Amino acid sequence: MIWARVPTLVCVLAALAGCAGSRPSGLPQGPAAYAVIPAAPGSPPAPAVRTLRAGDAISVSVFREAELSAEKVVLDELGNVQLPALGELAAARRTPREFAEQVAARLGERFLRNPRVTVALVSAVAEAVAVEGQVGTPGLYPLSRNETLLTSLARAGSPTQLAELDEVVVFRTVNGQRMGAVFDVRKIRTGNAPDPQIVDGDLVVVGFSQLKGAYRDFLAATPLLGLFTIF
């Protein structure tokens, strides 16, 4: 009879519900998430002093000491540079001024009295945010001033129909430690939760709803009319 397979469909959907995606474990959610990834300020923040990072090119000038200077050196993948007489030095996560002070201190220990060192940024790696998971166009996107989670998602083509909107994770490295927090995009869109600030190097991962995905695959494999067979 017609509808004979409706119970079968119900059972399948119940099974699918049982395998629905589990929530990210070990990561703060709700209000606690904003302690890790703060909300964007009401007005654009003042530009922060940029620190050096891997891929940046800098010049190091030692006053009246051309042989100790470097016209252009690039920070390697670990954030280190090779300088004349000093060898390898860690430059990442320091401002040009801080790194100049570090170089001057090392030169003062070994070669010169009261060396005068100037460090300038020759070329900088662009600031970016990576967006992965269930979005229209995953990828690496340039960071705008006062970037937020919603603007980053919009850049990546917005979440797909299979996205788990209450399981959007933002990962961030703070003082060398990898951290993350889970956000509910639906609440952010409706104004019921703040829109978190996104900064350079963040990774946004939009979760996948296993139930939605399995239901879509089930319907694709079994046409709807095939469910209602007359016996």
pLDDT in tens, the chain (231 residues): 433 433 444 444 344 444 444 455 578 999 999 988 999 887 555 556 788 988 999 999 999 999 999 999 999 989 999 999 999 999 998 999 999 999 999 999 989 999 999 999 999 998 899 999 999 999 999 998 889 999 999 999 999 999 999 999 999 987 778 889 999 999 999 999 999 999 988 999 999 876 555 545 544 554 443 333 332
3 within a domain of the structure (yes/no): no
Give the E-state strand segments of the chain in sequence order: 57-62, 70-74, 80-83, 87-90, 117-123, 128-133, 139-142, 163-174, 177-183, 203-208
Does one domain contain both 150 and 191? Answer: yes
Task: Determine the structural domain holding residue 79 and report its residue range.
Answer: 57-123
202 within a domain of the structure (yes/no): yes
Angle at 64 between CA 61 and CA 67, to 5 degrees: 65
Does one domain contain both 78 and 115? Answer: yes
130 within a domain of the structure (yes/no): yes
Of 123, 139, 173, the position where a domain reaches its end is 123
> How far is it, in rounded angstroms, from Cα 75 to Cα 55?
5
SS3 string of the chain? CCCCCHHHHHHHHHHHHHCCCCCCCCCCCHHHHHHHCCECCCCCCCCCCCCCCCCCEEEEEECCCHHHCEEEEECCCCCEEEECCCEEEECCCCCHHHHHHHHHHHHHHHCCCCCCEEEEEEECCCCEEEEEECECCCEEEECCCCCEHHHHHHHCCCECCCEEEEEEEEEEEECCEEEEEEECHHHHHCCCCCCEECCCCCEEEEEECHHHHHHHHHHHHCCHHHHCCCC
Lookup result for tokens 């100049």: 100
Does this model's pTM top 0.85? no
> How far is it, in rounded angstroms, from Cα 169 to Cα 167?
6
Count of the separate structural domains present in the chain: 2
Does one domain contain both 32 and 146? Answer: yes
Longest Cα–Cα distance in the chain: 98
Does one domain contain both 163 and 221? Answer: yes
